[in-house]
Amino acid sequence: MTDKELVQQVRNGNQHACRFLVAKYQGLVNHMVRRILLRNEVAEDICQDVFLKVFSRLSAFRGEAKLSTWIATIAYHTSITELNRMKGKKESSLELLPVTSVPVSFEPVHAFETEEVKKILLTMIETLPVHYRTILTLFYLEEFSYREIEQVTGMPEGTIKNYLYRARYLLKSKLEKIQQNERAEIFMV
């Protein structure tokens, strides 16, 4: 079933089509909402809000963009609005922090397996500014193109590339810092 056919079916009130649409895009919405809000306890409610908005605005969907991009746009704006409502100025003050000062707390001595290193990296992702997290999620997890991310977030392509590079650079440098710390520890012992 193509996106257009799916949208038409949903507009006609077909419950199976509605279920199919939600099942198809719930991963995308869930990833975006959780990565932006970082709060599991409200994530489900926000995902519900997103899909209710999707259903109520579906008559405005003209098929110019992909349905996934359109839904991601709604998920992005809903999450950002909710984030602003929840955190107020707290998050925006985090945005103003220089990227090098993103706090990372980890205990190298507790990590040994690859999974542990991955967990530390995931924690680091959560400490990145919200726009970095959003772009990383859309680009790597959802495999959106720059053009699609531009449609979702409204940021110019250059900014997206810059954020992507800086987010990756930050994570990589933190990872290497852990390695350096450990190297130093090994030589000290």
Where along the sequence are the contacts to another protein (CB under 8 A)? 10, 13, 15-16, 18-20, 22-23, 26-27, 30-31, 34-35, 40, 43-44, 47-48, 51-52, 55-56, 108-109, 111-112, 114, 117-118, 121-122, 125, 136, 140-141, 168, 171-172, 175-176, 178-179, 182-183, 185-186, 189
Residues comprising the chain, all counted: 189
38 C-beta neighbours (distance < 10 Å), count? 16
Cβ-based burial of 15 (10 A; exposed 0-12, middle 13-18, buried ≥19) = exposed
65 vs 125 by CB, closer to another protein = 125
Work out how close the CB of 180 gets to another protein at its nearest, in angstroms, rounded to a whole number.
Answer: 9
Q: What is the DSSP letter of 96?
A: T
Q: How far is the CB of 70 from another protein (least distance, A)?
A: 16
Q: Which is nearer to another protein, 96 or 187 (CB)?
A: 187
> Of the two residues 2 and 112, which places its CB atom closer to another protein in the complex?
112
Count of Cβ atoms closer than 10 Å to residue 161 Cβ: 15
d(CA 56, CA 60): 9
Q: Which is nearer to another protein, 29 or 152 (CB)?
A: 29
Tokens 């495999």: give the residue: 143
CB closer to another protein out of 55 and 73: 55
Based on its alpha-carbon atoms, the radius of gyration of the chain, rounded to whole angstroms, reads: 19
Minimum gap (Å) between residue 4 Cβ and another protein: 18
The span from the CA of 101 to the CA of 115, in Å, is 25
Least spacing, CB of residue 99 vs another protein, in Å: 16
Using the minimum distance from each CB to another protein, give the nearer residue, 36 or 152. 36
Compute the least distance from the CB of residue 139 to another protein, in Å.
8
Q: Taking the complex as a whole, how short is the minimal distance between the CB of residue 141 and another protein, in angstroms?
A: 6
Q: Which ranges constitute the DSSP H helices of 38-156?
A: 40-57, 67-87, 89-95, 114-127, 130-136, 146-153
